[in-house]
Chain A
Amino acid sequence: MQKGFTYLLAALILLPFSLLLLLSLAEGWSFPSILPDAWTAEHWSRLFQLDGDLGQSLLLSIGISLFVATVATISGFLTSRFIAYSPFRERYLIMAYCPFVLSPVVYAACIHFFFIKMGLSGHIGGVLIGQLIIAYPFAVIICHGHWNERIRSMEQLVATLGGSRREAFQKVILPLSKGILLVCFFQCYLISWFEYGLTTLIGVGKVQTMTLKVFQYINEADIYLAALSSWLLFLPPAILLWFNKRFVFREVNVS
């Protein structure tokens, strides 16, 4: 009984993904039929056309997300240390939570003026900075809990054993922080990878990342390409989480 219910539930959760896959392989799907009228690999082949805009969007998205995740993770990791040990720790943390809870698109609306003034509106540079403004505070939130008494004691121990701060960082802190760095990188990657509102506003629709592509296809009522690009958005995080679940799941109350 419970076993049957388990499989039913798993099937229900997988239903949307199968539906998207079927759609991306369909050549037509008129109303009452439960399955597509005919199959085709044509939508998928568009991905590999060199001058095709879909493939370009995919590469652009990967590039933007890798950049945002790298900069946010490295600077978030390093600066969260000062924040964690600061007497104003609580104040800084509340500030870090601000961009995290605000709707990115509303936040973008308020700061768009400054991007226009700096000539960054409609440019990839503006999108990178805009996404960084969202991802970086989140990296600080993720990393600050890592700097606890234990890590601090280890740093001090290395010092009394004769190691410099640089050696303490290289030989002890960095190896101990691999896990948190990976989680942080992946979370920031996802923020950028999933981001739509801010990207479309600050990029003025010109920086065509994958989420913008999905929206465009939906608007053009091209549901087959919309389904295909949805799959492309879902696939990379899904593959990573298959290898390690904790990358995707992270409690909001990181502490």
Chain B
Amino acid sequence: MYKALGIRWFLLLTVLPLAAGLIYALLYSLGLAGILGNGFTLAYWQSVFAEGVVWRSLGYSAYIATASMSLACLLALGLVIKLRTAFQKGILSYVIYFPLAIPAMVAAFISFQLLGKAGLFSRLTYALGLTESLQSFPDLVNDFWGIGIIFSHSLMAFPFLLLLFLGTYEGERLGELKQIAKTLGAGEGYISRKIVAPILLKQNFAAILLYFIFVLGSYEIPLLLGREAPQMISVLTIRKLQRYDLLDKPEAYIIALIYCVLVLTAMVISLRRSKILQKN
């Protein structure tokens, strides 16, 4: 009895909204729902595919997520390899947790205050005589390459990855593996590149991929630090949804659908391949 009730609650809160939302988006995109619902049409899908905005946006989102995760992984790996003990006791073992308590909105605001033209870095370069005015400081936010966005995401992701790697280091007994490698004649650099880094990355592949997906769909950070075009996928969807031109609405739902299908497929594949679903 309780079991049926529990499963129903789960389906009600998890499956029902998702299914309803995706079906509604599909109907809307086919002209079967909403204010413009005048009957079945493929016109919206055709115009989305013809325009190419979606693909540029997806490509841009993938670029941002790849760049952010690569930077964060490199930073976290480097620190775990070089400074592991410093993160296990002393000041860093506390301080490293603080960035995890920052919401994306605040991270974006911080990046703005650090990297913007009137930000702290600009003031420092001015004081050091490297720049002569506000204007001569380079565009690091709202810029073409998304430097501000990548900066924010890397800063949010690297402490998380670092703690993840520290856990794996203990769990996989990397210290002992390193000693074995040493007795076999391997040098420090070789061990880091061929043993420590591959094990840490491989064991945490699913977590890194999930974080990649988070960055791909992130909203607040590109909203504050991005440009008009190209836009990341979440920002583009919401912008299209809130435009006054009603023709944009079906396109917003098409973009949302494409994004959902891509992300959910990637998730299912990676979950099935990882250990997460296995019974303990």
Contact = CB atoms under 8 A, between A and B. Distances in A.
Direct contact of A and B (CB under 8 A): yes
Interface of A: 2, 5-7, 9-10, 13-17, 19-20, 23, 31-34, 75, 78-79, 81-83, 86, 89-90, 92-99, 101-107, 109-111, 113-114, 132-133, 136-137, 140, 145, 148-149, 193-194, 196-197, 201, 211, 214-215, 218, 223, 226-227, 230, 233-234, 237-238, 241-242, 245, 248-249, 251-255
A197 B238 contact: yes
Interface string B191-211: 000000000000010110011
B184 interface: no
Contact of B217 (A10, A103, A133, A233): A103
Contacts of B277: 90, 93-94
A79 B219 contact: no
Interface string B231-245: 001100110010000
Nearest to A241: B97
A105 to B, nearest CB: 5
A3 to B, nearest CB: 9
Given A13-B99, A241-B100, A249-B97, A110 B86 contact: no
Given A32-B127, A81-B6, A196 B259 contact: no
A95 B14 contact: yes
Interface of B: 2-3, 6-7, 9-10, 13-15, 17-18, 20-22, 24-25, 33-34, 79, 83, 86, 90-92, 94-106, 109-110, 112-114, 118, 120, 123-124, 126-127, 134, 159-160, 163-164, 167, 204, 206-207, 210-211, 213-214, 216-220, 224, 233-234, 237-238, 241, 252-253, 256, 259-260, 263-264, 267-268, 271, 274-280
Contact of A106 (B83, B100, B127, B260): B260
Nearest to B4: A82
Contact of A249 (B94, B113, B163, B278): B163
B10 A79 contact: yes
A251 B83 contact: no
B214 A101 contact: yes
B24 A114 contact: yes
Given A94-B271, A114-B20, A214-B106, A109 B237 contact: yes
Given A6-B91, A95-B15, A145-B280, A233 B103 contact: yes
Given A89-B279, A241-B97, 18 more contacts: A10-B91, A10-B92, A17-B98, A98-B264, A101-B210, A101-B267, A103-B259, A105-B237, A106-B233, A106-B259, A133-B14, A137-B13, A194-B104, A196-B103, A197-B220, A227-B113, A245-B97, A248-B100
Contacts of B98: 13-14, 17, 238, 241
12 contacts: A93-B276, A98-B267, A101-B263, A106-B238, A106-B256, A109-B256, A110-B22, A196-B104, A233-B106, A234-B106, A252-B210, A255-B275
Contacts of A97: 267, 271
Contacts of A92: 7, 10
A227 B114 CA distance: 13
A167 B17 CA distance: 36
A2 to B, nearest CB: 7
B217 A136 contact: no
A32 B10 contact: no
Nearest to B235: A105
Given A83-B10, A95-B15, A194-B104, A106 B217 contact: yes
Contacts of A111: 17, 20-21, 24
A7 B91 contact: yes
Contacts of B216: 103
A215 B104 CA distance: 11
Specify which of A7, A32, A102, A201 lies most central, judged by the most chain B CB atoms within 10 Å of its CB: A102
A125 to B, nearest CB: 15
Closest 8 CB pairs of A and B: A103-B217, A110-B21, A194-B103, A237-B101, A79-B6, A111-B21, A230-B106, A82-B6
B92 A201 contact: no
Nearest to A96: B14
Contact of B13 (A16, A132, A193, A215): A132
Given A214-B106, A248-B97, A253-B276, A19 B118 contact: no
Contacts of A196: 103-105, 219-220
A7 B98 CA distance: 15
Contacts of B15: 95
A81 B5 CA distance: 12
A5 B268 contact: no
Nearest to A132: B13
Contact of B101 (A19, A234, A253): A234
Contacts of A109: 237-238, 241, 252-253, 256
A101 B101 CA distance: 20
A252 B211 contact: yes
